Structure 1
Amino acid sequence: MISKEQFDKEVAGIISNAIREDVGDGDHSSLACIPKDAKGKAKLLVKDNGVIAGIEFSKMVFDFVDKDLIFDNKLNDGSEVAYGDIAFYIEGSSRSILKAERLVLNAMQRMSAIATKTKSFVDLLEGTSTKILDTRKTTPGIRALEKWAVTIGGGENHRFALYDMIMLKDNHIDFAGGITKAIDKTKSYLKETGRDLKIILEARDLNEIKEILKSDGVYRILIDNFNYEDTKEAVRLIGDRCLTESSGGITEETIRKYANCGVDYISSGALTHSVYNMDLSLKAV
């Protein structure tokens, strides 16, 4: 995983780019009818049920737009919310509040949806030793926010991007000439470049599991699109040689059954690519 410093840099870049994209050479709607010295107060109103996420991010947005704005949070990220709850109040320059409004709402609605979805998966895994992971199936440009939301919902992050972990999937293996060649080439690359990156291998069947196990240094095996029986057998074959991860079309209806096969992790792209935004509004008070 990337460092906190790298993650914070990603978030700061998201804020800067989003404000640039939205404001351009000025918020002319506000400039046209709101006096420069006008002060106001607004509340973030929850109009849905679920897990709230993005409160800390919103504070960062308001601070970026105007350091004199006063942010008063009434809830914390990860709190379960219901219709009518108030997440925070923001007070200060009316122009500044309006300038930040859309970015705050867009981010919080999406992050809250992801946190809510993740929490539902976490609840389904309760009582097992299996943990839920996200994937790289994220919205371009805001991956840091979506992965942040997964952790708020109780999940864990997979690799952040292509640079912080080696993940050899079917195409890598086929282009490299097979599993063993892919592993050997990867180990040589890491040694030559002085990089210390964990290696994950995707397996398409039990024979590929057996071949992967002939090599040392694999951190986790991705048991991809296996049925329940083959997943159990894969877990048995792997034992404590490395960690195990199930993936491939796993849903809320099947996740518990895969967890009961004994895998350490289950990864799901649905956490980030198949959610409906939580209904939130920023209202003047």
Structure 2
Amino acid sequence: MLTTSHIDRVVGAALEEDAPWGDLTSETLIPAKATATAELTAREDGVFSGGEVFATAFRLTDPAITVDLHVADGEPFSRGDTLATVTGPARGILQAERIGLNFTQRMSGIATQTARYVAALAGTRARIVDTRKTTPLLRAFERHAVRCGGGFNHRFSLSDAVMAKDNHLAVLTAGGLSVTEALLGVRAQLSHTTHLEVEVDRLDQVEAVLAAGVDTIMLDNFSLADLRAGVELVAGRAIIEASGTVTLDTVGAIAETGVDVISSGALTHSVRSLDLGLDVSIEHLGH
């Protein structure tokens, strides 16, 4: 969840990193009383995300700056559209410009990419979800952007659910327990509200995992034929997640196999920031 307090904390740290002792350039070149207007303009089509984050960069720099957002998070826009207008002290606008742009360009890039994945799933039952392959300390920002694009979020952190992968299972079964026995022991330790997901990489592992009553079974790096076979084998006994090298080119075919969820790190780990510009014009020099 992207809260105002979290936005303030992260954006505040970014502003401090960028201007730890103030903006030497603006303080030297721009009169203290100068005012300006700036327009956030789209230089390509996309889906907007990060409006509050963008506005916070200016608010924390100078509370006298006003930001009017013309599109809401999750709304599509076209090249040439004005997405926001910023007015107020020129020094503050110029100081906050880069930080505000950096956040909303990246978040809008993620939202735009996610929307493409969502479009590729049209007519199927599958939903696209992100992964923990996010930028450290920016997970809430990037996952908010995924939701803006119409996608969904996987577990937010390691604290949210039990997700047993191959290395976990290797440790669990090292003492001679079967996979089913080991997972039943795990289930016995969990509250009724805690979700249990288990990853498998072969069809012959499915039954042993399902026998433990897992909530979700992840079919990792399965071929399309094996995904279809896995869907038939599971037969509604658990949520089926497909994962592994999911791209925009492959996600549609994966969805057509009948899986419930498709997770893709590409939504966040290799996305391109969208091209947005902030065009500043000085209104009054204020000498």
Q: Mean Cα displacement is larger for which, 81-90 or 114-123? A: 81-90
**Pairwise CA distance, 1:38:** 2.1
Match of 2:83 in 1: 87
Describe the shift of the 1:121–1:8 C-alpha distance in structure 2 as closer, same or farther (beyond 3 A): same
Which one-letter code corresponds to 1:204 in the other structure? D
Partner of 2:34: 38
- Answer yes or no: is 1:214 the counterpart of 2:214: no
Letter in structure 1 aligned against 2:186: T
Task: Please report how far the alpha carbon of residue 13 of structure 1 lies from its aligned counterpart in structure 2 after TM superposition.
Answer: 2.5
Paired letter, 1:210: E
1:8 deviation in Å? Answer: 4.6
Give the counterpart of 1:26 among 22, 45, 62.
22
Of 99, 102, 106, 1:106 maps to 102
1:273 aligns to what SS in structure 2?
coil
Farther-moved stretch of structure 1 (122-131 vs 174-183): 174-183
Tell me which of 91, 116, 128 is aligned to 2:112: 116
Q: Specify which of 12, 15, 31 is matched with residue 11 of structure 2.
A: 15
Which consecutive segments of 4 or more residues in structure 1 shift more than 6 A? Answer: none
Q: How far apart, in 1, do the equivalents of 2:241 and 2:252 lie?
A: 14
Answer yes or no: is the 8 Å Cα contact 2:11–2:53 preserved in 1.
no
Secondary structure in 1 matching 2:25: helix
Secondary structure at 2:74 match in 1: coil
Paired residue for 2:48?
52
Count matched residues.
277
Query: Amino acid of the residue matched to residue 232 of structure 1?
Result: R
**What residue identity is the alignment partner of 1:198?**
H
Deviation of residue 12 (structure 1)? Answer: 3.1
Aligned alpha-carbon RMSD (Å) = 1.9
Q: Which structure has the larger Rg? A: 2
Quick one: percent identity of the two aligned structures? 39
CA deviation profile, 1:30-77 (whole Å, cap 9, x unmatched): 122222222211111111122222122212322222333211112222
Q: Is the 8 A contact 1:70 1:91 kept in 2?
A: yes
Q: Is 2:67–2:86's contact at 8 Å kept on the other side of the alignment?
A: yes
Q: Give distance in 1, aligned partners of 2:193 and 2:248.
A: 35
In the alignment, the residues of structure 1 paired with residue 212 and residue 188 of structure 2 have an alpha-carbon distance, to the nearest angstrom, of: 13
Q: What is the identity, as a one-letter code, of the residue corresponding to 2:93? A: I
Structure 1 residue 87: Cα displacement: 0.6
- Of 250-259 and 119-128, deviating more is 250-259
Q: For the Cα contact (< 8 Å) 2:220–2:242, is it kept in 1?
A: yes
**TM-score, scaled to structure 2:** 0.90
Q: Deviations over 1:115-163 (max 9, x none)?
A: 1111111001011111000111111121111111111111001111111
For structure 2, which runs of at least 5 residues remain unmatched after alignment? 282-287
1:181, distance to aligned residue in structure 2 (A): 5.0
> Which one of 154, 159, 162 corresponds to residue 163 of structure 1?
159
Counterpart CA distance in 2 for 1:175 and 1:261 is: 32
**Contact preservation (8 Å) 1:134, 1:267:** yes
Who is 1:244 aligned against?
240
Residue in structure 2 matching 1:78, options 74, 79, 86: 74
2:254 to 247, 252, 258: 258
Structure 2 matches for 1:86-235, cutoff 5 A? 86-177=82-173, 179-180=179-180, 182-190=182-190, 196-216=193-213, 218-235=214-231
**C-alpha distance in 2, partners of 1:222/1:128?**
18
Which residue does 1:276 correspond to in 2?
Answer: 272
Unaligned runs of 5+ in 1: none
Deviation of the 1:100 alpha carbon? 1.5
